[in-house]
Amino acid sequence: MIASLPPGLLLILGAVLVPLLRGRVQNAYLVALPVASLLHVLLLFGAPGDHLSLSMFDYSLSLVRVDRLSLVFGLIFHIAGLLSVIYALHVRDNVQHISGLVYAGAGIGAVFAGDLITLFVYWELTALSSVFLIWASRTERSYRSGMRYLIIQVGSGVILLSGILFHVHETGSIAFDHLGLGSIGRNLIFIAFGIKCAFPLLHNWLQDAYPEATPTGTVFLSAFTTKLAVYALARSFAGTEILIYIGVTMTLFPIYFAVIENDLRRVLSYSLNNQLGFMVVGIGVGTELALNGTAAHAFAHILYKSLLFMSMGAVLHRVGTVKASELGGLYKSMPFTTVCCVIGAASIAGFPLLSGFVSKSMILSAVGEGHMTIVFLGLLFASAGVMEHSGIKIPFFAFFGHDSGKRCEEAPWNMRIAMGATAALCLFIGIVPGPLYSILPYPVGYQPFTVEHVVTSFQLLLWAALAFAVLMRTGFYPQETPSVNLDTDWVYRRILPTMYGSLRQGASASFAASSAMVRGQLAKAIESVYHSAGPYGLFARTWPTGNTVLWVSLILSAFLLVYYTR
């Protein structure tokens, strides 16, 4: 019975009771929900296959499909949900608690969906529930950003539904398995997944929305939406070659924006885009090693990216800003947060004995085995870039660098517990990767701790650190100043509204001119009619009887002439 219950449903349904509870009882309940759901998923490890089917519209829906790919994502989603809930315990806002639970539950339900219709339902539920984490900031900026986020996420769902309908019409199948490109339906599904995965030119909803969410909401957001898209791509489009080039582009272009960005949560958003690129490359390569690397990197990434967002959220909670130009020297006030941030930064940089080292290298090795030299070099450059903007910039400007003079309390106890547990997991996975490797989709024979790999990683990291130091000392490193950086969202937030305004002005002027001309002609016509048929017009006069008879005779004669000569 328990194996047939859809994973994530406990979180979604349990969220209904949150407003009825208060204080410590509510906190205990919030923690108990993801723990219970996690125990449920652990039971599924011994029960692979389809467990719950439902007939609807002549189709059989597979609500619970368990295999190794869904289990690894389901497990990390539960861990992320639990850590995010603990991190948010100090918040007294039921909107955030409810939306966070529903959002996590929908993401978990989606990775266990065995058909496209069930996936679509959860896909849209993640969009609808997550937007409240942005609106919970209750500012004008967050409202506008949330509206843009919702439009794009729901738009992705509409494209997904269109693709599903085309695909069902073409094949008669709703199975959520390998699809590949080729038909209209499958191409639309690919685009829908790409939007949620923040493909290049479709990416800026991420940097627009995540920094506007609440400190705790951003931690939830960083874990689920994009990684659900990674899972969907791995399930449906593994081995699709174009993903290799899309992924490489994703790893490279955020580096520039992250370096010049002043808002550190926006830096992390660009860094998130960069790390997604590695996963997309692994999916595109499509070998067992590459897919294992993608799953492992998604697992590790959710942890260390959450840890970095947690540390910045703690800074925002205590100081009220995450602008690099306004921070510095916080290690004196927040030493625990500083240590956790450094661990997260070292993990994302791929420092040996930390989680990123044992996951990202699997993707690089798979690319190397495929003799993709250009792609491999691109990923190496991207690895050095992420070391610079996330491995060094985030902790340096927030906690070290110049002393901003800001003094504050350490993060609340629940934030410290969540950060400490996440940092411990980053260390554990990096030192003992065996447990993670054991749950990956395919058998793992990979050994990360080779002399070549360790030496290469140290060289890459040290040269990146040296480059940062030299650029800082010589003054060539971009200064952290309050600024607005233009990205692709400039098109739909500035150019298109400006063009629309110009077109609207032109259309209004044309309409006004046309209306004036029509009114003028109509006035002339009315005047002409009034002149003829008004009280003093020609037709208003009294006509003699003889003239009337004459006109009647003429008209009758004309009618008879036409009638007899036709």
Q: Could you write out the DSSP letters of every residue in 113-158?
A: --BHHHHHHHHHHHHHHHHHHHHTT-SHHHHHHHHHHHHHHHHHHH
Distance from C-alpha of 173 to C-alpha of 164, rounded to nearest angstrom: 9
Nearest C-alpha neighbor of 334 from the set 415, 419, 420, 410: 410
pLDDT computed for residue 305 by the predictor: 95
pLDDT digits (tens, 9 = 90+) for 243-271: 999 999 999 988 888 888 889 999 999 99
Report pLDDT digits (tens) over 440-449: 999 988 888 8
**More confidently predicted of 461 and 400:** 400
Q: Where are the alpha helices (DSSP H) in 349-409?
A: 355-369, 373-386, 393-399
Share of the chain above pLDDT 70, in %: 93
Mean pLDDT, rounded, for 349-365: 91
The mean pLDDT value for 176-186 works out to: 92
- Does the structure show a pLDDT above 80 at 4? no
The answer to whether the beta carbons of residues 21 and 47 sit under 8 Å apart is: no
pLDDT band for 413, please (50, 70, 90 cuts): very high
Question: Would the pLDDT of 565 be above 90?
Answer: no
* Per-residue pLDDT at 537: 63
Closest CA to 7 of 135, 97, 106, 94: 106
φ and ψ of 396, to 5 deg: -65, -50
Higher pLDDT, 136 or 525: 136
Name the nearest CA neighbour of 359 among 435, 416, 265: 435
Q: Which tokens in the block code for residue 391?
A: 């491995």
Confidence at 325, pLDDT banded by 50, 70, 90: confident
How confident is the model over 483-499, as pLDDT tens digits?
Answer: 677 676 667 667 777 77
Residue 323 pLDDT exceeds 80: yes
- What confidence score (pLDDT) does residue 142 get? 93
Write out pLDDT tens, residues 506-524.
888 888 888 888 888 888 8
Rounded to the nearest 10 degrees, the angle between the axes of helix 23-44 and helix 68-87 is 170
Return d(Cα 337, Cα 327) in angstroms, integer.
Answer: 14
Average pLDDT over residues 531-554: 68
What angle (nearest 5°) sits at the alpha carbon of residue 245, between those of residues 241 and 247? Answer: 105
> Which residue matches tokens 């729901």?
154
CB crowding 532-551: b at 16 or more within 10 Å, else e = eeeeeeeeeeeeeeeeeeee
Q: What would the pLDDT profile of 11-36 be if each residue is shown by its tens digit?
A: 999 999 999 999 999 999 999 999 99
Stretch 386-402: mean pLDDT: 86
The token pair that represents 320 in the structure block: 């009220």
Neighbours of 379 (CB within 10 A): 23
Q: Given this model, what pLDDT does residue 179 score?
A: 92
Name the pLDDT band for 536 (thresholds 50, 70, 90). low
The answer, yes or no, to whether residue 454 has pLDDT greater than 70, is yes
> Which whole number is the average pLDDT over 550-566?
78
In this structure, are residues 176 and 234 in contact, taking their beta carbons and an 8 Å threshold? no
Q: What's the half-sphere exposure (Cβ side, CA atoms, 13 Å) at 53?
A: 8
Q: Which residue has the higher pLDDT, 445 or 344?
A: 344
| pLDDT tens-digit readout, 130-167 | 999 999 999 999 999 999 999 999 999 999 999 999 99
Tell me the DSSP string of 440-466: SSS--------HHHHHHHHHHHHHHHH
Give the CA radius of gyration of the chain. 32
> Which two structure tokens, joined as six digits, stand for 545?
């009887």
The CA distances from residue 450 to 357, 434, 436, 456, in Å, are 12, 15, 18, 10
Residue 423's pLDDT band, with cuts at 50, 70 and 90, is very high
Torsion of CA 68, 70, 76, 80, to 10 degrees: -170
Classify 425 as helix, strand or coil. Answer: helix
DSSP annotation string for 42-96:
HHHTT--EEEEEEEETTEEEEEEEE-HHHHHHHHHHHHHHHHHHHHTTT---HHH
pLDDT at 551 over 80: no
* Residue 494 near residue 484 (C-beta atoms within 8 A): no
Q: What is the mean pLDDT of the segment spanning 395-401?
A: 89
List pLDDT tens digits, range 75-123. 999 999 999 999 999 999 999 999 999 999 999 999 999 999 999 999 9
- What gap in Å lies between CA 190 and CA 446, rounded to an integer? 30
Question: Cα separation of 533 and 513, whole Å?
Answer: 30
The C-alpha atoms of residue 408 and residue 516 are separated, in whole angstroms, by 66
Quote the pLDDT of residue 258: 84
Of 261-265, 463-467, 533-537, 551-555, which range is least confident? 533-537
Tell whether the model's pLDDT for residue 290 goes beyond 60. Answer: yes
Distance CA 222, CA 31 (A): 19
Q: Residue 103: helix, strand or coil by DSSP?
A: helix
Give the integer Cα–Cα distance in Å for 96 and 136: 7
Question: Do 251 and 378 touch, CB atoms closer than 8 A?
Answer: yes
pLDDT band, residue 235 (cuts 50/70/90): very high
Write the pLDDT tens digit of every residue in 60-76. Answer: 888 899 999 999 999 99
367 CB neighbour count, 10 Å cutoff: 30
Which of 331-345, 468-482, 497-511 tops mean pLDDT? 331-345
Token pair listed for 231: 């899972």
- Where is pLDDT greater, at 305 or 505? 305
Mean pLDDT of the chain: 89
Residue 95's contacts (CB-CB under 8 Å, 6 or more residues apart) are: 132, 136
- Among 229-243, 317-331, 488-502, the range with the most confident prediction by mean pLDDT is 229-243
What distance in Å separates the CA atoms of residue 239 and residue 284, rounded to the nearest whole number?
5
The H-or-E segment that residue 424 falls in is: helix 413-431
